[in-house]
Amino acid sequence: MPITVCHLPPGTSKWNKIEHRLFSFITANWRGKALVSHKVIVELIAATTTEAGLTVRCQLDPNTYPAGVKVSDAELQAIKLKRHDFHGDWNYTIEPNPDPTT
Protein backbone atom coordinates (compact mmCIF):
# COMPACT_ATOMS: atom_id res chain seq x y z
CA MET A 1 0.00 0.00 0.00
CA PRO A 2 1.49 3.39 -0.91
CA ILE A 3 1.72 5.84 1.99
CA THR A 4 1.68 9.58 1.34
CA VAL A 5 3.47 11.76 3.88
CA CYS A 6 3.06 15.54 4.06
CA HIS A 7 5.07 17.38 6.72
CA LEU A 8 4.58 20.95 7.77
CA PRO A 9 7.75 23.00 7.29
CA PRO A 10 9.86 23.42 10.45
CA GLY A 11 8.45 25.99 12.86
CA THR A 12 5.02 26.15 11.21
CA SER A 13 2.94 23.68 13.24
CA LYS A 14 1.06 26.65 14.68
CA TRP A 15 -0.40 27.07 11.20
CA ASN A 16 -1.83 23.53 11.09
CA LYS A 17 -5.47 24.51 10.59
CA ILE A 18 -7.01 21.33 12.01
CA GLU A 19 -4.81 21.34 15.10
CA HIS A 20 -5.40 25.06 15.51
CA ARG A 21 -9.19 24.67 15.25
CA LEU A 22 -9.40 21.69 17.61
CA PHE A 23 -6.88 22.34 20.36
CA SER A 24 -8.95 24.96 22.15
CA PHE A 25 -11.96 22.62 22.14
CA ILE A 26 -9.87 19.72 23.46
CA THR A 27 -8.45 21.79 26.31
CA ALA A 28 -11.90 23.22 27.14
CA ASN A 29 -13.33 19.70 27.19
CA TRP A 30 -10.83 18.47 29.78
CA ARG A 31 -10.76 21.67 31.82
CA GLY A 32 -10.93 20.88 35.54
CA LYS A 33 -10.56 17.14 35.01
CA ALA A 34 -7.65 15.23 36.54
CA LEU A 35 -5.58 13.66 33.76
CA VAL A 36 -4.76 10.60 35.86
CA SER A 37 -4.37 7.95 33.18
CA HIS A 38 -3.95 7.45 29.46
CA LYS A 39 -7.53 6.12 29.35
CA VAL A 40 -8.93 9.35 30.83
CA ILE A 41 -6.92 11.49 28.42
CA VAL A 42 -7.93 9.46 25.36
CA GLU A 43 -11.62 9.46 26.36
CA LEU A 44 -11.64 13.21 26.95
CA ILE A 45 -9.97 13.90 23.61
CA ALA A 46 -12.27 11.46 21.79
CA ALA A 47 -15.36 13.13 23.31
CA THR A 48 -14.42 16.53 21.83
CA THR A 49 -16.64 18.13 19.20
CA THR A 50 -16.94 21.64 17.82
CA GLU A 51 -20.07 23.70 17.20
CA ALA A 52 -19.43 23.25 13.47
CA GLY A 53 -19.68 19.46 13.88
CA LEU A 54 -15.98 18.59 13.77
CA THR A 55 -15.26 15.47 15.84
CA VAL A 56 -12.06 13.90 17.09
CA ARG A 57 -11.05 10.28 16.73
CA CYS A 58 -8.49 9.23 19.30
CA GLN A 59 -7.11 5.90 20.43
CA LEU A 60 -4.14 4.83 22.49
CA ASP A 61 -1.47 2.79 20.77
CA PRO A 62 -0.52 0.24 23.46
CA ASN A 63 2.43 -1.16 21.52
CA THR A 64 5.96 -0.82 22.77
CA TYR A 65 8.49 0.32 20.21
CA PRO A 66 12.21 -0.23 20.66
CA ALA A 67 14.37 2.86 21.03
CA GLY A 68 17.66 3.33 19.22
CA VAL A 69 16.85 1.20 16.17
CA LYS A 70 19.50 1.82 13.54
CA VAL A 71 18.56 1.84 9.87
CA SER A 72 21.46 0.96 7.59
CA ASP A 73 22.31 3.06 4.55
CA ALA A 74 21.31 0.09 2.36
CA GLU A 75 17.88 -0.18 4.05
CA LEU A 76 17.34 3.55 3.65
CA GLN A 77 18.29 3.41 -0.03
CA ALA A 78 15.84 0.53 -0.58
CA ILE A 79 12.88 2.74 0.38
CA LYS A 80 11.05 3.79 -2.76
CA LEU A 81 10.30 7.48 -2.26
CA LYS A 82 8.36 9.37 -4.89
CA ARG A 83 8.88 13.02 -4.05
CA HIS A 84 6.05 15.41 -4.86
CA ASP A 85 6.68 18.34 -7.19
CA PHE A 86 5.83 20.80 -4.42
CA HIS A 87 8.49 20.64 -1.64
CA GLY A 88 9.55 17.04 -2.25
CA ASP A 89 11.60 17.07 0.98
CA TRP A 90 8.39 17.55 2.98
CA ASN A 91 5.84 15.82 0.73
CA TYR A 92 6.38 12.37 -0.70
CA THR A 93 4.83 8.96 -1.24
CA ILE A 94 6.47 5.78 -0.01
CA GLU A 95 5.83 3.15 -2.66
CA PRO A 96 5.80 -0.55 -1.70
CA ASN A 97 8.74 -2.68 -2.74
CA PRO A 98 7.85 -5.62 -4.97
CA ASP A 99 7.16 -8.84 -3.08
CA PRO A 100 10.32 -10.96 -3.56
CA THR A 101 8.30 -14.17 -3.20
CA THR A 102 6.22 -13.56 -6.34
Task: Judge whether 68 lies within some domain.
Answer: yes
Whether residue 31 is contained in a domain is answered as: yes
The answer to whether position 89 is within a domain reads yes
Mean pLDDT value across residues 85-102? 85
Task: HSE, CB side, 13 Å, CA atoms: give it for residue 29.
Answer: 19
The tally of domains found in the chain comes to 1
Structural domain for 58, as ranges: 3-95
Whether residue 100 is contained in a domain is answered as no
* Per-residue pLDDT, 55: 82
Position 24 in a domain? yes
pLDDT in tens, 13-40: 666 676 777 778 888 888 888 989 999 9
Residue 102 in any domain: the answer is: no
The string of pLDDT tens digits covering residues 45-79 is: 888 888 888 888 888 999 999 999 999 999 999 99
Distances (CA, A) of 31 to 10, 28, 48, 82: 30, 5, 12, 43
